[in-house]
Amino acid sequence: MEKQFHPNISVDCVIFGFDFKKLNVILVERNVHDPVNGAKQISDLTLTGNHVYFDEKLEDAAKRILFNLTGLSGIYLEQFFTTGDPERLKSVKDQVWLQKIGKDPRERVVSVCYFSLLNCDEITLKMGNRKIGWYSVKEAKNLAFDHGTILGNAIKALQTKLLYEPIGFEMLPEKFTLTQLQKLYEVVFDVEFDKRNFRKKVSKMNYLVPLDEKQKGVSHKPARYYTFSRELYEKNSSAMFNFSI
């Protein structure tokens, strides 16, 4: 007996990446052509997702999606939201699409959503016959299904998490400069920080380790590289109370 997908339970992954300039997300093209004249009936974008196997844990399904896409495992992954309204797949476009890919368009699908963090440069994406790639979150409009809502929630969840935990490093290479780190916070929160004040702040994070290595081949003063030490973070981090409101 083959592994079977559960018709009512799926997982969607919002995969964020940072290219030193902006916050990106992986999206997949969704095209349907008119069988008669070949004109495009649908042309838009979806998040990456899939139904779960009957005997598969939710998080394992998310890991499977990530692995099939990138060939990597051990990627940062966090559940943040679940969408499951009966009408969420009922627009005409979505019904046409479900028909095309061989799903029963009448089934109600609850989708458990995860966000996950990658360094854009380190991977090459692949996914069967659909075109897949990185898109700026600011340009990610006109998404299929309720994926626009999911993406909006994912960005808020990422921001909230990033206020408390140093997960930004998951989107940076092993070695990075302080300017790159600052830019990362700036694009996630869509604000700008003062360079000196930012450096003062991060200099208190003793899990941010300066290396003896510097940038090469840049036509300006080369920046020192830093690295994130998970051990130091886990040793020294302590709970904080801060209730701002």
Partner DNA sequence: CCAAAAGTGTTCAACTTACACCCATGT
Partner DNA sequence: ACATGGGTGTAAGTTGAACACTTTTGG
**Cβ-based nearer residue to DNA, 88 or 183:** 183
Backbone angles phi, psi at 197, to 5 degrees: -70, -35
244 binds a copy of itself (CB under 8 A): yes
Name the H helices within 73-173.
92-100, 147-164
Query: Residue 222 binds what, of DNA, a copy of itself, none (CB under 5 to 8 Å, by partner type)?
Result: DNA
Q: Given its phi and psi angles, is residue 30 left (phi above 0), alpha (psi -120 to 50 degrees) or beta? A: beta
Query: From the CB of 9, what's the least distance to a copy of itself, in Å?
Result: 5
Distance CA 69, CA 124 (A): 8
Quick note: the x/- pattern for a copy of itself over 83-122, rule CB under 8 A, is xxxx---------------------x-x-x----------
Q: Which of residues 203-222 bind a copy of itself (CB under 8 A)?
A: 205
3 binds a copy of itself (CB under 8 A): no
How far is 46 from 101, CA to CA, in rounded Å? 14
> What does the alpha-carbon distance between residue 132 and residue 68 come to, in Å, rounded to a whole number?
12
Q: Interacting stretch for DNA, rule CB under 7 A, among 55-63, 93-101, 125-133, 194-202? A: 194-202
Determine, following the binding rule CB under 8 A, whether residue 39 of this chain makes contact with a copy of itself.
Answer: no
Instruction: Tell me the residue ranges of DSSP E strands in the chain.
Output: 5-18, 23-33, 40-46, 48-53, 76-83, 110-119, 132-136, 208-214, 224-228
Contact between 196 and DNA by CB under 7 A: the answer reads yes
Contacts with DNA, residue ranges (CB under 7 A): 177-179, 194-197, 199-201, 204, 214, 216-224
